[in-house]
Chain A
C-alpha cells in the first residue's frame, strides 16, 4: 500500500461514483421484470396455453401486444408466465447454493487440515467439468422436471459459492476480534453464527446475485436444447427454442425471450458488481 498508483486510484474513485449512481437502475429494472412476471394475469388477460389457431403468427396489435405464436397463443402472456418459471428456478437454485455453499465453505474454513483439503479438492474437480456439460449429465440422470432442475442448478452453483465462502471466512478469522473472541472462550459455532456470518454476508449476497444470473443462463441453455422443463410448461429458454424453430418465418418470435434473458442477466450482473464493493453494505468494513 506504500505507493498507490495515482492513475488507478483516480479511476477507481471515479468509477465508484458512477457505480453507486447507476446501481439502483439495474435493481429497479430487475424488480420490474419480477413484478411483471408475478402480475402476469393482471397485465395480460390472455391465457398462455389456450391455442387459437385462427390467429397464428398474428403481428403485434392492441389485442395481442407482442403478437401470437405458431398456435395463436399470446406471446406476452407466454413470456411473463415463462419468466415465472425461469425466475423460480433461479430463486430456488440460489437458495440451495447459498445454504450448501456456505455450509461447505464454512466447514472447510473452520476445520482446515485434511477435511478442508478434501472438501476443496472436491469443489475443484466439480469446477473442472464445464458447468453446462455437468448439467447435461445431471439432466440425463435425474430428469428434467421443475424440482430436479432447481436442485441441479443449485448443486452446480455450490462449489463456486463454497470456495468464495471459505475464502472470506478464512480472511475474517485472521482479524483481531476473532482471536479475541476465541481467547475469551466463545464457542466456535456461536462465534461463526453470530459474528463471522453476519460480517461475510455482503460477500455471500453478492455471490448469490451472480449465482442467480448463472442459474438463469443454465436453465435457458438446458431448455433451449429441449432438456429443460417440458411443454406445456414454459420458460424463457423453452420459448427461445420455439422462436429458434421459426427464425426464418417469424424473426420477432425469438427476440422476446432473448431480450428477457439478456436484460435479467445484465441487471443481475450489474447489481452484483455494485454489491461487490462490500464497503457499501458491510458496516464496520468500510475502507
Chain B
C-alpha cells in the first residue's frame, strides 16, 4: 500500500467518524495528516526528465577482469528533492568496488557522475537502463522511471596462444597456407618427380633421376601447402559436461575451442564454429581477425543445455561442413558418441577429437577412498577402450588432462603431423 493511500484512508476514516459522531474534533485529528499530504503533493516534482550516458572502460575483457562503469545523469526537468538512482546490473555481474546506487538531490540542469567497478564470468552482458525513484522530501507521491543508458560488455574466454596445430584434411582450399594439399606445386615437402619444364629453377632439377635418361631432365615437385576448411564442434550437452556439486568441464572445453580457433585462423584456415547443446548455434565459416571476433563472441555466450533431440551426436548437421574438410570436436565424450563420429569419418571428413578427460577431472574432487578409486579405474579402462576404438577407425583423439595447460598439451601433441607421430610410434 502506498504511503499517500494509507494517509488518505486514515483521513477519510476520521472524517467519516466525525460525521457519524457529529464531533468536529475528529476533523482536528485529521488536519496534521491532510497537511502532510498537501505539502507532499505540492512539493512533488512537476516534470521528471532525466538523461543518462554510460561509459565502459573496456567492452571486451577476459573473465573476472575489472571494468569501470561511469554514469552521468543530467536533470533536464524540474528540481528533484530526492532521487534514488540505481544502475540495474545484468545477471552474472558483480560490483567489485564503488557503489551502483545513490540517493541525492538534483537541481534543474544539474548533472551527477558516479563510477563503480564490475567483473563477471564469461558471457555477454547488456546494460539497459537506470532505475530511478523520484519524490518530494516527504515521499508522499514517489514515482519510478527508467532512464535509458545502454551498454554492452563481452567477457570473452581466455585464448591460449598456440603456434601450430597440425591438421591434414583430404581436401583443401585454393589459397596458400600451411596444410599439405596432396598436389604438386610450390612448397617445402617433397611430393614427387616430374619432367623438367621450361621455367623451373635449376635447383629443382633432380640430377639422380635425370642421369638415367639422355634426352630428358627431371625436376623435383613439392607438395602444395594450402588452407583448409575447419569446423570446430563444441559439445555443450549437460550430461557430458556437468557433474555433481556444480563441477563442470565446459569452461575447459570453451577455452580449448577458443585457442584452437585462434590458432587455426592465424594459419589462414577458414574456420566455423558449431555449438551442440540444447540447440545448434552455427557461426558461419570465415577468415581472419573478424572471424576470430565472431567465434569468441559466440563462445562468450555459449552455455550447456539439455535436449532430447540433441542428446547424442547423431544430429550433427554434416551438410554444414564442406566435403572432406576437417572437423575438430571438443567434447569429454560418452560411450554412444562412437557411432556418429565413425559415420562422419565414413563420409570423408577428417575428424579430430580434443577430449577433456572427465574421469581424472571427477577423481580430482571426489574423496580418495577405495570404492571411488576402483570405480575410477573401471571407468578409465572403458574410456581408454573407447578412445582406442576411435583411433583405430582413423579418428585422431587427444585425451587432455585439464590440469595440464592447454598450450603445453597442444605443443606436445599437435605441433607435428599425426602421421609423423604415428610413424615414430607416439
A and B are interacting partners: no
